[in-house]
């Protein structure tokens, strides 16, 4: 019985990542963004999420997606609709909430929504985080949009972290 506390403690320390590792700063930006989407889908909750980059006015690329597509050649309806909305979100600089156009009967209230949030991107092609959200009402979906707006700002943290890392390296070189 004496050895039990130490085994549970060592187990905890190996499975619990540091805050920085948990936020994914250890990996690439793409890994960080992908991990953030998983976390947001679990916590908000959202059905699915993607980060879309507008390379040109008529070109939208996928940066990250959760969960992965069942068939990589077939984009689900929420993703196609999100891609169409990206230019509008980029030009307005504001998040949007749109009922997902599904094959539901007309006249019924929407139960799925798209939330698109512009992601602060430092001097790179603009990006938009898109979330498919199931919601009982428009006002409930509106609350979710506000939460996602706050949380999507975390994506900018990676760029900031990287920029600060470069800056401190630059300062270190100056001192040398």
- Read off the pLDDT of residues 10-37 as tens digits, 9 standing for 90 and up: 333 344 444 444 544 567 888 888 888 9
Global pTM? 0.74
Q: What percentage of the chain has pLDDT greater than the value 70?
A: 74
Q: Are 77 and 99 in contact (CB under 8 A)?
A: no
Classify each residue of 85-110 as buried b or exposed e, where b means 16 or more C-beta atoms within 10 Å of its C-beta: bbbebbeeeebbbebbeeeeeeeeeb
Residue of higher predicted confidence among 106 and 4: 106
Interval 86-141: pLDDT, tens: 999 999 999 999 998 875 656 677 789 999 999 876 667 899 999 999 988 889 99
Lookup result for tokens 């991107």: 121
Q: Are 137 and 109 in contact (CB under 8 A)?
A: yes
Residue 131 CA to residue 66 CA, distance in Å, equals 10
Residue 119 CA to residue 91 CA, distance in Å, equals 12
Q: What share of the chain is helix, strand, coil (3-state, %, to 5)?
A: 50, 20, 30
């Amino acid at each position: 019985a004496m050895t039990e506390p130490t085994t549970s403690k060592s187990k905890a320390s190996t499975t619990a990542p540091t805050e920085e590792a948990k936020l994914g700063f250890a990996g690439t930006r793409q890994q960080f963004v992908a991990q953030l989407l998983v976390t947001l889908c679990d916590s908000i909750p959202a059905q699915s999420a993607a980060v879309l980059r507008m390379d040109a006015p008529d070109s939208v690329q996928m940066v990250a997606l959760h969960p992965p597509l069942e068939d990589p050649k077939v984009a689900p309806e929420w993703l196609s609709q999100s891609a169409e909305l990206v230019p509008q979100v980029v030009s307005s600089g504001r998040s949007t909430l749109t009922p997902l156009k599904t094959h539901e009967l007309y006249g019924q209230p929407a139960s799925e929504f798209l939330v698109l949030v512009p992601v602060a991107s430092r001097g790179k092609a603009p990006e938009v985080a898109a979330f498919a959200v199931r919601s009982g009402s428009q006002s409930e979906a509106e609350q979710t949009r506000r939460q996602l707006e706050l949380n999507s700002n975390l994506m900018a943290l990676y760029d900031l972290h990287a920029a600060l890392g470069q800056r401190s390296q630059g300062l270190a070189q100056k001192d040398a």
